[in-house]
Amino acid sequence: MKKSLAVTLLLAGALGAVASAHADPRARFMAANCAYCHGPEGKSHGAIPSLAGLEAKYFVDQMKAFKDGSRPGTVMQKHASGYTEAEYLAMAKYFAAIK
Amino acid sequence: MAIIDRREFLKVSAGAASAVAVGGLAGCATTPNAASAGGARPKVVVVGAGFGGATFARYLKMWYPKAEVTVIEPNDKFVSCPFSNTVLAGINKMDDITMPYDNIKKVVDNFVKDTVTAIDSGKKTVTTKGGKTFAYDKLVLAGGVELMFDKVEGYNAEAQKTIMHAWKAGPQTATLRKQLEEMPDGGTFVMSVPMAPYRCPPGPYERACQVAHYFKQAKPKSKIIILDGNPDIASKKGLFLAAWKKHYGYDTPNSMIEYRANNMPRAVDPKKMMVGTEFDDVKGDVINVVPPMRAAEITGMAGVRDGNNGTWCTIDYRTFESKVVPNVHVLGDSALTNFPKSGSVANNTGKMCAYAISEMFSGRAVDPAPVVTNTCYSASSDSTAFHVATVFRWNEEKQSMLPEKGANGVSKEESELEFAYMEAWAKNVWADTLGL
């Protein structure tokens, strides 16, 4: 019984890893759109902030704030205006899963 | 994700649980995996390892590792066109914009330093100067642009030793920098802007800023004459005019920059150091003529240079597949699209094509309504920059990709913050393209 539970947990863990490393292909592509400024897999090499590991709610809130202008920005007002809220969330989940 | 990838992942990662997992996942498979049926590895040949081709190759190997990817590239190293104008200004050196292909070589199956000489889209093969032939299931052409020297009288091989275009970063960039360094104070730098569409719409005007910045520091009596083939400044007009006024005296008697619209160079004479337009002959101490351009030579070999009177390649936005030759995909500057011919677009459309092809190989339908972005910075001095940014989305009615409402525009004004962002963009786009 204990052993089968352990197998189940191991399996659940493995599938969880699959889900994060191989996310929904559309979300993965949209997130990759950000890489030329924010770095491959959201890990920035310069002054532009990294996105990897950001909490999903924070990411979505920032995108909303860039769009409505409550957070001032340079390029981000335009980028945030180009995606739906469902797309913000899809990208947010992708970046949140990167360690 | 293909079912086979899940199996491979679990086989490696889940150890004892793998038998259970494979059984469970096999039940989830709802679509056949055509490409991996029978264990065949789809062959993908990529010609050109610039922003488009290198990015495509790297991402396809991430998103569909089973693909057998061959990259054919004539150059030893990657030299970035973005930032090459800062080399002309002396802000950066050639080493700062030159990067190795080491990491791309590690992730692809075959990296071939060679030049493609023939493409047979019927037999689906590519032949190189080195005498090798490569078969493909998918061919990705990412060769950038071909410069049409024959459109400018006298711009022959001999003239090209004296007159640089420096529109493909590399030795041309280094030579033009040397010419500018050797030019005496009080000299004239004559530069041209080709008729749109051309690679990097704001590039020529940024070049004027960067050379003017250098002159201001090192040879303040010197002048720049811009001969523009277009009827007006073709990109970021308000921002460039403001920068020219603020930094380089534009619109004053002491302006360092003289701008002439509708002045397409028709002829060059390297002995007299003259550029001829329809109006007059312009003498320069250093001459920099960028000839008109079209999609790269390789697209002509493949018979896909079908658009805009045979100069650029029409593509299906959702796959980047040529509209005239199946299984040939065209990336970056060679494609005829609504996107500007920028490094960011080449990088992101490389990923867009990798996304589409990985979906096809996985036996799934491609994304019916993709969304893709452009962000392009221009440096107006050694410490200020500004941007244009756009989000494009598939429009079913127009069968095209169009800027989203509110998601297209330029900076209000130049800033030092955007110069810092521009430098970060360069580091990140190089990393994303080359796997640095």
10 Å CB burial of residue B129 (0-12, 13-18, 19+) is exposed
Q: For B398-424, what is each residue's pLDDT tens digit? A: 999 999 999 999 999 999 999 999 999
Q: Are strands B223-228 and B188-193 parallel, antiparallel or unpaired?
A: parallel
Which residue in the set A32, A67, A87 is minimally distant from B351, CB to CB?
A32
| CATH 3.50.50.60 intervals, chain B | 3-147+295-368, 149-293
Are residues B267 and B232 in contact, defined by beta-carbon separation less than 8 angstroms? no
Q: Tell me the nearest-neighbour CA distance from A62 into chain B, angstroms.
A: 16
pLDDT for position A99? 87
Which are the contacts of B247, defined by CB distance < 8 A and separation ≥ 6?
B209, B212, B213, B216, B380, B381, B384
Are residues B328 and B363 in contact, defined by beta-carbon separation less than 8 angstroms? no
User: Over chain B, what is the mean pLDDT?
Assistant: 92
User: What is the ipTM, given to two decimal places?
Assistant: 0.89
Confidence class for position B39, pLDDT limits 50, 70, 90: low
Whole-angstrom Cα distance, residue B141 to residue B201?
Answer: 22
* B13:A32 CB<8 A: no
Which residue in the set B6, B405, B421 is minimally distant from A74, CB to CB?
B421
Instruction: Report if residue A56 sits inside a domain.
Output: yes
Residue A40 structural domain: 24-96
Question: pTM for this structure?
Answer: 0.89
Q: Which residue ranges of chain A lie beneath pLDDT 70?
A: 1-22
Which residues on chain A are in Cβ contact (under 8 Å) with B1? Answer: 18, 22, 25
Q: For B332-379, what is each residue's pLDDT tens digit? A: 999 999 999 999 999 999 999 999 999 999 999 999 999 999 999 999
* B358:A25 CB<8 A: yes
* pLDDT surpasses 80 at B20: no
* pLDDT surpasses 80 at B2: no
Q: For B69-105, what is each residue's pLDDT tens digit? A: 999 999 999 999 999 999 999 999 999 999 999 999 9
Query: Which CATH fold would you assign to the domain B149-293?
Result: FAD/NAD(P)-binding domain (3.50.50)
For residue A41, give the CATH number of its domain. 1.10.760.10
pLDDT for position B1? 31
* B428:A83 CB<8 A: no
Instruction: Report if residue A9 sits inside a domain.
Output: no
pLDDT for position A22? 55
Task: Name the closest residue on chain A to residue B406, using Cα atoms.
Answer: A81
Q: How far is CA B369 from the centre of its chain?
A: 24
Using DSSP, state whether B35 is helix, strand or coil.
coil
Which residue in the set B5, B6, B21 is minimally distant from A11, CB to CB?
B21
Closest CA to A31 of A73, A82, A93: A93
Q: For B291-308, what is each residue's pLDDT tens digit? A: 999 999 999 999 999 999
* pLDDT surpasses 80 at B29: no
Confidence class for position B27, pLDDT limits 50, 70, 90: very low
